[in-house]
Amino acid sequence: MAFGAHAVPPGRRASIAARKRALADMLRGVGGTRNRVRPRASSCGIVFALAFGLTACGASPEPEAAFRVALLTPSSIRDAGWNQGAYEGLLKIKQELGAGVAHQETRTPQEFEVGFRDFAARGYQLVFGHGFEFQDAAATVAAEYPDTVFITTSGSIVRPNLAPMVFELEQATYVLGFVGASISRTGQLGCLGGIEIPSVASTFLAFEAGARSARPEVSVRVSYLGSWEDVAAAREATLALISAGSDVLIHNADAAARGFFQAAGEAGEVRVFGANRNQNELAPAVTLASATLDIPSAFVEVARSVKDGRFVARPIRLGLADGVVGIAWNPPLFAQLPEAVREAAQQLEGQISSGEFEVPRAGF
Amino acid sequence: MRRAELVAPVAAILAALALSALLLLLLGANPVDALGALVKGAFGDRLALENTLVRMAPLLLIGAGISIAFRCGVWNIGGEGQLYAGALVATWVATRLLPGAEAVLLVPLVLLAGAAAGALWGGIAAGLRVGRGVSEVLSTILLNFIAVLGVAWAVHGPLQELSGAYPQSDTFPAAARLPMLPGSLRVHAGVLLAMVLPVAIWILLFRSAAGLRLRAVGLSPEASRYAGIYPLRETVRVLLISGGLAGLAGAVEVSGVTGRLFENLSPGYGFTGIAVALLARLHPLGVLPAALLFAALASGSGAMQRIAGVPAVTVQVIEAFVIFFSVGFALPRRNG
Amino acid sequence: MLRVELTELRKRFGSVQALDGAGLEIAAGEVHALLGENGAGKTTLVRALYGVVRPDSGSIRIDGELVQLRGPRDALELGVGLVHQHFMLVPELSVAENLALGERGGLLLGPRALRSHAAGILERYDLGFRPDLRVGELSVAQKQRLEIARALSRGVEILVLDEPTAVLVPSEIDSLLELLSRLREQGCSVLFISHKLDEITAVCDRVTVLRNGRNVATREVPGIELRELGELMVGSELPPPGQPPRTQVGPVVLRARGLTTPPLVGVDLELRAGEVFAIAGIDGNGQTPLEEVLAGVRVLESGSLELVQPPLALISGDRQRTGLVLGLGLDENLVLEEAARGGAPPEYRFGLVRPRELRRSASAAIERLGIRAAPDDPVRTLSGGNQQKICVARALRRDPCALIAVNPTRGLDVRATAQVRDELRAQAERGAGLLLISTDLDEVLELANRIAVLFRGQLYPVAPAEHTRERIGELMLGGAAA
């Protein structure tokens, strides 16, 4: 599968910025009650938050288009990360392929199954389950509805109408691990994960391998939150990693990562990496780079193949070469890196992209 | 339940619906379509109805348990933890202790193990209350965290699937799965069990000498003591019963629905169970319609997202309205 | 001039028509008595006047003005004050703080202003205690005075006293009545609720009699006959006062040796079958601890309690807090004690209730004691007299050999009192030992074969020759200890 050169379209970037502003406003509105009770301000904040939720999700009744695509996410699509990327992919499918789209936030395996089954029963041709945890439910329902294609992002189960889409984020985290070990003063790196699942562990594994390729004696500490959303716990865990000596950190904790960036911003004397999206703006003073995923483009490509009847069920692996995985450097901090490190990093990126070098990853 | 007592819960539901409709209108959605989707998603077809019934089961068990505990003046906030404890031990029995046993033996054992574990979890709170005077409100809340983390530890450790890939247990052997009820609806037998047990709890509470003691302690510990009742003894009993019911809910969930244990197993059944009990005005039979309502709301809310395109946040706000009003309006007035 | 006119008030609570066209007129500077049996509607009527109960229909005029009372605040504004049967004071706070409570800006006063504000009131109303005393340490009579002073200090000119003498001993009653006549001289109007006829004739100008939520009559008190009042109240002839039972005294049924738990010090007592042994005394001398020991809810420091002849039954002195579970029905309260001790009441089989049997025995108790209620009415909704009768009915269910009754007729009207006393007397005549702990001297003298006085935690036996009102009153005030 081939993709064109990857670039963030300016329009999307603007919409992300607008959404971030809105979110900040919302937080201010709610936070305002803590200092001084100003009912009007806070209720405005709530109404605004609701209105925001609505515009972000585009409340529209069931689409009547011929080609219909649905998305199940495991948590909120306003996480500035994994789920938001998927939702943007869904909107992009709507825009570029003229598809009718629908989304549901699902929390339990039971809901996964009901969601898949209901969309399939109502004639959706393609349903995404956004995460490895959807694969059991997808496999069950795929057997019942052979005319619908099911895609799980990550996972390993393949059926005639079910395939996993695997993002090789490891290719980017390997490079970041290499850079991180090169600049670490303490020789200790930290990783903050949301829930300990293979796809997350694997990105840390590659991060550690990249670090050792630069400095074999480096040590890597990994900490898991047990949640994708607990911002406070993420902040605590990050501060703990920093005080234990980690001075370069990466996360893969989805929405909880806000706490990761907060803590990093407070600590100051560290360098951190974002994941899944360009998160350099979240703590611009300390975020050196983000391992990015262009989920929207990947979604559109799969949807196009389903729409054109070209879909073949096999694991879809997408990495640096496809432009789906990338590394977004934070220019001022990148410029501060030693010349040699910058060059080595870019060389490594090229080698991985061309397939000359294969990044180790967990088998799952 | 007297007729007057029905007014408050019904008013609570209507108020929540009205406010939800207003909210939807404010957001530019069509409330009739959206709420129609909710109803359709809860009862509209066979799939929807099955989903609602299956979700109702844990709410019934926990709601009935909370009702009897609150009636005795014991504020058991630990349904969630007791559910997890029950699910954990039930999974251990099904996947590690006796995976090869016959269904006729294994299913009852799995359920009993879950109930016993939930009772034990409630019993810890009871022990702290009796031994050290720790309020059960505090201890049950804190025990929730321990149980949830205990399950997280188990699925990363001793109970993790043998392939070791994901943080979840092995699937239950078929003999440990609750059988499906006969008939056209594909719902597991736990649903029937969960509908029968509140009736048993009602008999216990309102038709037995033991229930009279429980209610007397809840209404007036002082007068109960004078009558020769030991209030602490009743506290222990009621925590064992309500913990056992929540633990059973956990076992029913893993054995009947998911077929394995993993983190975040419960979407807050232990807490929604409290709202169910309050909406039922702590009446074990009132729990039946109240649990049905909350289950319908949960399964219908998915349809509201899928069919009417109402965003998840809005759906959550609507659910919160129902809980808020059921707690605010339907809470039985407490008398001194 | 009429200060208060209540006309045709109606109020319904559930199935009970508490007021059914009741009315009342109070003139300026008069002490007006309100007389009626328990459940006649007296309390509801005064609560309507105080703005606590909103009548379904009827009118309330104060100083000729038609008013709508939305709460006690409105009533106080118009000069109407109510002193409840159960005092509305906070025992943990000081006298001064209690006086400031509810006063506009009262809680904002600093300690010094608080004290001087209180000292002024205490002096004006001639109350001889310090403003920094905790209210919990005051005697019942002192608390009552404090409540009255608090009301007057807020400009109350129409003072309503809800059964103020029920909690007092004779000497205290006399001084309260004296206070009422002084208030009258100062131009205050007083509404005095009582069912003690002699108190009414001693101080009141007029009396209004209520029965079943309706006015029966309003009469000038001077020249009225006690007999006539009594008959107006109960609607028939008054029962004659009873006599102590004349029975054969049998063996010991209950024995206590050296009971010690503060403030009780080495209390010895023996209760024999067939006798009524009364423990008289002023409230607060150890009655409650003694009751708790006998009920088995209090741990002894030393001493022993031996129930020689079970079963034992207790009629608690506080029917609302310890005697009954107010949220349960009459029927379930009846069987609670037997259900509690694991023994199955006959209305239960295999631990499950037989509803028809339960209903039958509840109806039997209702019939026998003339309780006005349905078997499953929550006892909270019943009047004090009916509640007390349930306590009695429960105690008598198992034909106890030892029966303990603590203030069994407190707050009951004449007829209910006579009825309860008859029941108790009958128990002694049946052969039970009755231990009567009572602060009502009339009751003690009417029932007891043998009397002792509880004073500061010690028990002083009274010789049969000394069974007189004067001698026992003296002992109650510490005559033996001196």
| 8 Å CB contact of C351 and B227 | no
Instruction: Please tell me the distance in Å from C316's CA to the nearest CA on chain B.
Output: 8
Chains A and B touch (3+ CB pairs under 8 A): yes
The pLDDT value recorded for residue B4 is 62
End-to-end C-alpha distance for chain A, whole angstroms: 22
| 8 Å CB contact of B28 and A76 | no
Q: Report the alpha-carbon distance of residue A317 to residue B179 in Å, rounded.
A: 40
Grouping H, G, I as helix, E, B as strand and the rest as coil, residue A272 is strand
Grouping H, G, I as helix, E, B as strand and the rest as coil, residue A243 is helix
The pLDDT value recorded for residue A363 is 63
Name all chains with 3 or more CB-CB pairs below 8 Å to chain A.
B
The pLDDT value recorded for residue A46 is 41
Tell me the CATH architecture of domain A170-293+330-354. 3-Layer(aba) Sandwich (3.40)
CB-closest option in C321, C336, C344 to B227: C336
What is the rounded average pLDDT of the residues B208-235? Answer: 94
Instruction: Please tell me the distance in Å from C348's CA to the nearest CA on chain B.
Output: 7
| 8 Å CB contact of B209 and C322 | no
Helix, strand, coil percentages in chain B from 3-state DSSP, rounded to 5: 75, 0, 25
Q: Report the alpha-carbon distance of residue C177 to residue C189 in Å, rounded.
A: 14
- Chain B residue with the nearest C-alpha to that of C296: B226
pLDDT at B47 over 70: yes
> Residue C70: phi, psi to the nearest 5?
-100, -5
Q: Report the alpha-carbon distance of residue C444 to residue C425 in Å, rounded.
A: 12
Stated pTM of the model: 0.76
Length of chain A: 364
Instruction: Please tell me the distance in Å from C335's CA to the nearest CA on chain B.
Output: 9
Q: Report the alpha-carbon distance of residue B76 to residue B335 in Å, rounded.
A: 20
Instruction: Please tell me the distance in Å from B113's CA to the nearest CA on chain A.
Output: 23
> Residue B67: phi, psi to the nearest 5?
-55, -50
* 307-336 of B, contacting A, C-beta below 8 A: 307-314, 317
Which has the higher per-residue pLDDT, A11 or C335?
C335
* 379-408 of C, contacting B, C-beta below 8 A: 380
| 8 Å CB contact of C322 and B226 | yes
| 8 Å CB contact of B166 and A198 | yes
* 141-180 of B, contacting A, C-beta below 8 A: 149, 152, 156, 165-167
Whose tokens are 């128990």? That residue is C427
The pLDDT value recorded for residue A344 is 94
pLDDT digits 0-9 by tens, A91-132: 999 999 999 999 999 887 778 988 999 999 989 999 999 988
The pLDDT value recorded for residue A57 is 42
Please state which of the four CATH numbers 3.40.30.10, 3.40.640.10, 3.40.50.300, 3.40.50.2300 is assigned to the domain occupying A60-167+295-321: 3.40.50.2300
Put residue B292 in one of left, alpha, beta given phi > 0 → left and psi -120 to 50 → alpha: alpha
Q: Which residues of chain B have a CB within 8 Å of the CB of A70?
A: 306
**All domains of chain C in start order, with CATH:** 2-234 (3.40.50.300), 252-311+399-476 (3.40.50.300)
Instruction: Please tell me the distance in Å from B318's CA to the nearest CA on chain C.
Output: 35
Q: Which two tokens stand for residue B282?
A: 């702590």
The pLDDT value recorded for residue A67 is 93
* Inter-helix orientation angle B189-207/B287-306, to 10°: 150
- Chain C residue with the nearest C-alpha to that of B234: C340
Q: Which residues of chain B have a CB within 8 Å of the CB of A102?
A: 305-307, 309
pLDDT digits 0-9 by tens, A291-313: 999 999 999 999 999 999 999 99
The pLDDT value recorded for residue B10 is 84
The pLDDT value recorded for residue A34 is 32
State the pLDDT confidence band at A148, using cuts at 50, 70 and 90: very high
C297 close to B (CB below 8 A): yes
- Chain B residue with the nearest C-alpha to that of A127: B306
Q: Report the alpha-carbon distance of residue B212 to residue B190 in Å, rounded.
A: 29
Instruction: Please tell me the distance in Å from B230's CA to the nearest CA on chain C.
Output: 8
Q: Which residues of chain C have a CB within 8 Å of the CB of B216?
A: 325, 328, 332, 336, 340
pLDDT digits 0-9 by tens, B168-185: 899 999 999 999 999 888
What mean pLDDT value characterizes chain A? 83
pLDDT digits 0-9 by tens, A208-236: 999 999 999 999 999 999 888 889 999 99
Which amino acid is located at A226 in the chain? Answer: G
A109 close to B (CB below 8 A): yes
| 8 Å CB contact of C353 and B226 | no
What is the torsional sign of CA C86, C91, C97, C101?
A: negative
- Chain C residue with the nearest C-alpha to that of B216: C325
| 8 Å CB contact of C325 and B220 | yes
Please state which of the four CATH numbers 3.40.50, 1.10.287, 1.10.3470, 1.10.10 is assigned to the domain occupying B3-330: 1.10.3470
B215 close to C (CB below 8 A): yes
The pLDDT value recorded for residue C416 is 84
* Inter-helix orientation angle B287-306/B31-43, to 10°: 120
Which has the higher per-residue pLDDT, C197 or A258?
A258
* 221-250 of B, contacting C, C-beta below 8 A: 222-229
| 8 Å CB contact of C321 and B223 | yes
Q: Which residues of chain A have a CB within 8 Å of the CB of B51?
A: 110, 114
- Give, in degrees to the nearest 5, the angle at Cα C106 between C104 and C109: 135
Instruction: Please tell me the distance in Å from B309's CA to the nearest CA on chain C.
Output: 48
State the pLDDT confidence band at A36, using cuts at 50, 70 and 90: very low
CB-closest option in B208, B215, B219 to C352: B208
Residue C61 β-bridge partners:
C5, C66
Locate all alpha helices (DSSP H) within chain A, ordered by sequence. 10-35, 39-57, 82-97, 109-121, 135-144, 170-183, 198-214, 231-243, 257-267, 295-307, 331-336, 339-354
Which amino acid is located at C441 in the chain? Answer: L
What is the rounded average pLDDT of the residues A46-60? Answer: 43
Residue C80 β-bridge partners:
C158
| 8 Å CB contact of B223 and C327 | no
CA dihedral C83, C88, C91, C93 (to 10 degrees): -100
Grouping H, G, I as helix, E, B as strand and the rest as coil, residue C191 is strand
Q: Which residues of chain A have a CB within 8 Å of the CB of B27?
A: 50-51, 54, 59
Q: Which residues of chain B have a CB within 8 Å of the CB of A117?
A: 47
Please state the domain extents for chain A: 1-57, 60-167+295-321, 170-293+330-354
C105 close to B (CB below 8 A): no
| 8 Å CB contact of A105 and B305 | yes
CA neighbor of B138 nearest in space, from B153, B118, B152, B124: B124
Instruction: Please tell me the distance in Å from A342's CA to the nearest CA on chain B.
Output: 36
- The string of DSSP letters for B157-172 reads TTTB-TT-SSSBBPPP
What mean pLDDT value characterizes chain B? 90
Interface confidence (ipTM) of the complex: 0.86
CB-closest option in C314, C340, C353 to B213: C340
Which residues 6+ apart lie within 8 Å of A323 measured at CB?
A3, A4, A5, A6, A294, A297
pLDDT at A14 over 70: no
- Which residues of chain C carry a pLDDT beneath 70? 14-15, 38, 102, 104-107, 236-241, 342-343, 479-482
Chains C and A touch (3+ CB pairs under 8 A): no
| 8 Å CB contact of B216 and C316 | no
Of A100-114, A165-179, B3-17, B255-269, give the lowest mean pLDDT range: B3-17
